[in-house]
Structure 1
Amino acid sequence: MAGIKELSAALQSLKKQIPFATAQALTSVAKQIAAAEKTAFQRKLENPTPFTVNSVGSVGARRDNLTAKVYVRDIAAGYLEPFEFGGVHKLNGNALLNPKNIKLNKYGNIPRNKIAQIKATGKAFFGKVDGRSGLWQRHKYKKVKRRAKRSANGTRRERVKQPPLVLRMQFGDALPVKPTLGYMDRAIKMSTILMPAALNKALAEALKTAK
């Protein structure tokens, strides 16, 4: 009967280990999914910033809370939503900012404080010119000498032409976005495929350490 008692004790020990093993399996799968989602962001988004890629995170499970999470932080989730579900670009303001004659950073975005720098020159203004609304900038004004008096034959010196305004930022409507991320489908498929093997591995480790 000693064998039955030993088996019963081993089973009781294993029973205590199951929640811990399950939490380990869930945490492992969540980390793998988060890593895969970051890779997908890099592949499916056009030149994403580190902020966007690293917005993906995961929370592990515990033996008293057998739930693991993979998430996207709030700020990034807001502007990434159309890339998952469709719709139009999320705007920071009332209009889409379409940069013109502005050198973008390596991620294709407007450098921080660039608009403020342009406005600080004192030669820029927001307005509508020739039917286009946006941020316009004047070139340095050319000083004009006093025009010569009209000659005997009725001619005078030509008026000096001032440089045209430069459109630095055009305002437009939010553009439609084609869903490309597949974030949720990827997470569901990976959890279905990975969880059985991860749970078996965690349980096998639990059996080795069961007392």
Structure 2
Amino acid sequence: MAELKDLSAQLQSLKKQIKFATSQALTSTVRQIERAQKNALKQNLDNPTPFTISSVKSRGATKNNLVAKVFVMDIAADYLKPFEVGGIHKLNSQALLNPKNIKLNKYGNLARNKSQQLKSKPDVFVGDVDGVNGIWQRTKAKKGKKGKKRRVRSQNGNRQPRLKSPAPKLLIQFGDALPVKPILNYMNRANKMAAELMPGELEKALAEAFRTAK
């Protein structure tokens, strides 16, 4: 009976070591996939923001829960989805905002709430000018001599017509959402890496678990 108890204890210990090693292998695999997916975003997207890059996360496994995963946070996943499966750009408003004569941030994007800030200015208006719909800024007419906008009288005594107001400056043009070419290959990369990495990671983890087993 004593030998059976010893054997049972050894089997239980072995079972624990296998679970622990499996959780270690799963966690190591998803961490590597997470890093690869972040690098892929940097390579395939045009100057993505830190928010977009850090939205890729991984969750490791434990010996009591042998499940590990790599995922994208909901907000980023919403606008990144077309780059994975195709479709049209996810718009943050009712129209695509196409910046024209306006300063962008270092990632080439409009600053947060920039359109609302512009609309609050007295010299800015939203509307259609010559068939182009967007946010416009009125430009001041150049003053003539002595600060007068009306030209001086000609030699025959007729007053020349008032100078025309200059055309407004287009700051942001409104447009429709554009189609997106799928370029991320996120799911294929994750599945391929998991299949390639997991056997080797499991072998290493089992060897280490048995080496340190008491």
TM-score by length of 2: 0.88
Could you tell me which amino acid in structure 1 is paired with residue 25 of structure 2? A
Q: Percent identity?
A: 63
Structure 2 unmatched runs, 5+ = none
Could you tell me which amino acid in structure 2 is paired with residue 181 of structure 1? L
Cα drift, residue 7 of structure 1: 6.9
Q: Report 1:107-146 matches (<5 A).
A: 107-140=107-140, 145=148
Counterpart of 2:178? 175
Q: Report 1:181-196 matches (<5 A).
A: 181-196=184-199
Residues 93, 148 of structure 1: alpha-carbon distance in 2 compared, 3 angstrom cutoff: closer
Quick one: which of 196, 200, 210 aligns to 1:207? 210
How far, CA to CA, are the matches of 2:155 and 2:32 in structure 1?
88
Residues 182, 158 of structure 1: alpha-carbon distance in 2 compared, 3 angstrom cutoff: same
Q: Count matched residues.
A: 210
Residues 132, 33 of structure 1: alpha-carbon distance in 2 compared, 3 angstrom cutoff: same
Q: Using the TM superposition, name which of 104-113 and 72-81 deviates more.
A: 104-113
Cα drift, residue 119 of structure 1: 2.4
Cα drift, residue 132 of structure 1: 0.8
SS at match of 2:164: coil
SS at match of 1:171: strand
Counterpart of 1:159? 162
Cα drift, residue 152 of structure 1: 8.3
Q: Aligned pair 1:50/2:50, yes or no?
A: yes
How far, CA to CA, are the matches of 1:21 and 1:148 in structure 2?
88
SS at match of 1:84: helix
Q: Is the Cα contact below 8 Å between 2:55 and 2:76 reproduced in 1?
A: yes
Q: Deviations over 1:54-93 (max 9, x none)?
A: 1100001111111001010111000000000000000011
Q: Is the Cα contact below 8 Å between 2:56 and 2:70 reproduced in 1?
A: yes
How far, CA to CA, are the matches of 2:44 and 2:111 in structure 1?
23
Counterpart of 1:29? 29
Q: Is the Cα contact below 8 Å between 1:148 and 1:157 reproduced in 2?
A: yes
Cα drift, residue 155 of structure 1: 2.9
Residues 206, 7 of structure 1: alpha-carbon distance in 2 compared, 3 angstrom cutoff: farther
How far, CA to CA, are the matches of 1:66 and 1:99 in structure 2?
48
Q: Is the Cα contact below 8 Å between 2:119 and 2:126 reproduced in 1?
A: no
How far, CA to CA, are the matches of 1:51 and 1:171 in structure 2?
25
Structure 1 unmatched runs, 5+ = none
Q: Is the Cα contact below 8 Å between 1:10 and 1:210 reproduced in 2?
A: no
Q: Is the Cα contact below 8 Å between 1:83 and 1:177 reproduced in 2?
A: yes
Residues 151, 29 of structure 1: alpha-carbon distance in 2 compared, 3 angstrom cutoff: closer
Residues 16, 165 of structure 1: alpha-carbon distance in 2 compared, 3 angstrom cutoff: same
Q: Deviations over 1:3-22 (max 9, x none)?
A: 99877754442122111111
How far, CA to CA, are the matches of 2:137 and 2:200 in structure 1?
62
How far, CA to CA, are the matches of 1:95 and 1:16 in structure 2?
56
Residues 191, 153 of structure 1: alpha-carbon distance in 2 compared, 3 angstrom cutoff: same
SS at match of 1:168: strand
Q: Is the Cα contact below 8 Å between 2:84 and 2:182 reproduced in 1?
A: yes
How far, CA to CA, are the matches of 2:141 and 2:203 in structure 1?
76
CA RMSD in angstroms comes to 2.4
